[in-house]
């Protein structure tokens, strides 16, 4: 391959590293083309899975400011560039790796922070961003309802106490 082609490939990979929320490195040795196609589908629509050359990808990652992955560029390597929810793609990788032990998750990077293979598996165990946000919204709504009922209870308790006091005073006034 000519030098300008390599420079273009490095520039494209560096752009993918910069524009991605996360990138996961895998070893795909022993997987068939059909299995790789199935893996690409299981990652979701917000991820791109590409078989890459280690040397060029290492240079591109360094250009993008990612140096924590340098030791993982060995053997046949493929990168999942994730632009959407990283949890969804991590689940896809984890589930595919369970069914196909030839896929080995090496590690990755999430928002500039290096992740080990175990951390990526922990990420896959999280619920999706939408589920977590809806749980958070539900918790806020519950707290607002509690506060509203508390604020509503104080005036009504005051009114009931005042009414009870009025009735008691009337009874005392009538008994004399």
Degrees to nearest 5, angle at CA 33 with 1 and 125: 110
Residue 50, phi-psi category: left (phi > 0), alpha (psi -120 to 50), beta (remainder): beta
Residue 9 confidence (pLDDT): 87
60-72 pLDDT, tens digit per residue, is 888 888 888 888 8
Whether 11 shows a pLDDT value over 70: the answer reads yes
Alpha helices in the chain (DSSP H): 3-19, 33-42, 54-63, 86-99, 117-125, 129-175
> Residue range 18-31: average pLDDT?
87
| Per-chain mean pLDDT for the chain | 83
Would you say the pTM of this structure is higher than 0.75?
A: no
Residue 51 confidence (pLDDT): 86
48-107 pLDDT, tens digit per residue, is 888 888 888 888 888 888 888 888 888 888 898 988 888 888 888 888 888 888 888 888
Query: What 3-state class would DSSP assign to 13?
Result: helix
Whether 127 shows a pLDDT value over 50: the answer reads yes
> Residue range 126-155: average pLDDT?
75
Residue 176 confidence (pLDDT): 54
What is the rounded CA–CA span in Å between residue 44 and residue 128? 13
Residue 1 confidence (pLDDT): 45
């Amino acid at each position: 391959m000519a030098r300008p082609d390599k420079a273009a490939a490095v520039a494209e990979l560096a752009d993918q590293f910069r524009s991605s929320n996360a990138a996961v490195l895998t070893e795909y040795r022993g997987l068939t083309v059909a299995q790789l196609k199935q893996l690409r589908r299981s990652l979701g629509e917000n991820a791109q899975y590409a078989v890459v050359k280690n040397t060029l990808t290492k240079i591109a990652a360094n250009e993008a400011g990612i140096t924590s992955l340098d030791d993982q560029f060995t053997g046949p390597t493929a990168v999942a560039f994730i632009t959407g929810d990283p949890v969804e793609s991590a689940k896809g990788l984890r589930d595919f790796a369970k069914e196909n032990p030839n896929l080995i998750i090496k590690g990755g990077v999430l928002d500039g922070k290096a992740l080990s293979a175990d951390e990526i598996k922990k990420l896959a165990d999280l619920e999706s961003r939408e589920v977590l946000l809806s749980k958070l919204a539900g918790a806020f709504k519950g707290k607002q309802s509690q506060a509203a009922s508390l604020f509503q209870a104080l005036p009504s308790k005051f009114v009931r106490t005042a009414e009870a006091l009025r009735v008691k005073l009337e009874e005392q006034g009538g008994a004399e």
